[in-house]
Chain A
């Protein structure tokens, strides 16, 4: 299966929508990407069977709204307080770490974190986060295009 892109968040909680907005940008370009609330079990199901996965989520405000951080799940443990927690504290970080404990991480799993300014109810995304959403969406667009390239030596048929 090609690269799976999963955006997590809550569209009604300000910058928490960042991951969802990235997904919507990609979909508008005709690329496949899925939205998730960030609930851990559903997240594990949504990457089940996928070899290469990119997660996009908002990270907790830490003074640099819009900052983009990228973690390689195979190389490092996700920081405890950076990623927002989902229902009952079983969210993105917990899903990744649980999968690691059970030796069932995808072959590659990258997490793109976009630092939030605020998680206010019904608030729109902050300007800095909107810019970061555009940047991450463009990066992933290129990544998807690259993943769709045939392996060297093969001839593309379409």
Chain B
């Protein structure tokens, strides 16, 4: 109607580096007309240029997709190839891979909780401003991240784009004694993660819930890292090899990233909150207690509480890393091998931000003939838009600065790889 006030919120530039995008929200008469999370980062064509490369190059190539979760890309890739070629994994290698993942979760979650998301809840524009009043908390976050980095460096040779993982295992594995050197750091990190959960318990969370379909891996005995079936809160329960029969990727005209949906049902959520809700009973007691301490109960449908789920997962990752260090026995050989043949393999693992699916087809010479990679941020995109659509409706009467701030916070609930940019949004208000 002509008398209704129309407002358009445009966030035009999300910074470069790991993700480039923008946010567009159109309001009319207090109602949300349209929401678009535009990811205009140029496509990097990984799936295309992997074709023709030998599978042994894969772990080092896909690690380059992400600077903060290269371990996840390496793990999904090696598991897919190992599945294709029927390569058995030694229990010692399996434990080391869990430890590798623990390191990545700790560093990624610590960065997001302390540097990117906590300032939203405490009313600061960024971590630098927050550090003036919360120095000890920030120091704890930095040291936690360092503890995670140390594991990745220990196993992977360097903290970003590690180089040790290979199909069948690792190029080199540590001795049991060497691994024990990480224990002091991790004992401290476990206490610090518990302190993180208690710190978050004091935050105020917006009252906002949605009827999500949560999706994650599920393993009968473990909180998932590398293995499990793909399950959802609405009854999906499939082998990873059936993933593409249940999930679809769609192109939208305003984004260079594909949107994933569950066929016939629509958008869904992956990530810490989904994992927590679907695997709560497989968390160790210390992590369940941490959840209780920060007021997080499964099922939790408030996405703003994902910061608490990350804190609980840090507790889990530290506890799990210590378990691995206690139980580790070096494998007889760093890696297993198998005859090369034409084959196809799929795998999904749990990146810090959620389920990461890979599929590769190999020719008889071991060269990759096709590749498919579905990252967690792509899977969450539609869900983020849906959250914004409902969330903005409830705050549409507020000043545009406040709406923008809240939208950014809501986007950061998902820790997308474009979250770097959401701290530097430029906003224009049109209409009136």
Contacts and interface: CB of A to CB of B under 8 A. Distances in A.
B195 interface: no
Interface in B101-143: 111-112, 115-116, 126-129, 131-132, 135, 138-139, 142
Nearest to B132: A101
Nearest to A103: B135
A7 interface: no
Contacts of B149: 41-42
B420 interface: yes
Contacts of B131: 98, 101-102
Contacts of A100: 128
B419 interface: yes
B141 to A, nearest CB: 9
Given A41-B146, A98-B131, A88 B112 contact: yes
Contacts of B112: 88
Interface residues of B, number: 33
Contacts of A39: 67, 159-160
Interface stretch (A20-28, A79-87, A142-150): A79-87
B3 to A, nearest CB: 41
B300 interface: no
A89 interface: yes
A94 interface: yes
A44 to B, nearest CB: 7
A62 to B, nearest CB: 14
B419 to A, nearest CB: 6
Given A88-B116, A88-B420, A89-B420, A119 B67 contact: no
B146 A85 contact: no
Interface stretch (B14-22, B169-177, B252-260, B321-329): B14-22
Nearest to A80: B424
A98 B424 contact: no
Nearest to A40: B115
A110 interface: no
Contacts, number: 75
A84 B419 CA distance: 15
Contact of B142 (A41, A85, A87, A119): A41
A89 B18 CA distance: 9
Contacts of A97: 128
A4 B403 CA distance: 44
B128 A94 contact: yes
A89 B16 CA distance: 9
Nearest to A88: B420
A84 B111 contact: no
A76 interface: no
Given A41-B142, A42-B159, A119-B16, A85 B420 contact: yes
Q: Which of A41, A89, A100 has most B Cβ within 10 Å? A: A89
Contacts of A44: 142
DSSP majority for the A interface? Answer: helix
A72 B181 CA distance: 39
B145 interface: yes
A148 B64 CA distance: 39
Interface in A1-30: 12
A20 to B, nearest CB: 13
B25 interface: no
B422 to A, nearest CB: 9
A100 to B, nearest CB: 8
A41 B129 contact: no
Contacts of A98: 127-128, 131, 138
A89 B146 contact: no
Contacts of A86: 17, 67
A129 to B, nearest CB: 18
Contact of A45 (B44, B146, B417, B421): B146
B69 to A, nearest CB: 10
A41 B17 contact: no
Interface string A94-116: 10011011100000000000000
B223 to A, nearest CB: 24
A59 interface: no
Interface string A38-60: 01111011000000000000000
Interface of A: 12, 37, 39-42, 44-45, 80, 84-90, 94, 97-98, 100-102, 119, 121
26 contacts: A37-B67, A37-B160, A39-B160, A41-B142, A42-B159, A44-B142, A45-B146, A80-B424, A84-B17, A85-B17, A85-B420, A86-B67, A87-B67, A88-B68, A88-B112, A88-B417, A88-B420, A89-B423, A90-B111, A90-B115, A90-B116, A90-B420, A94-B126, A97-B128, A98-B127, A98-B131
4 smallest beta-carbon distances between A and B, as pairs: A89-B420, A101-B131, A87-B67, A97-B128
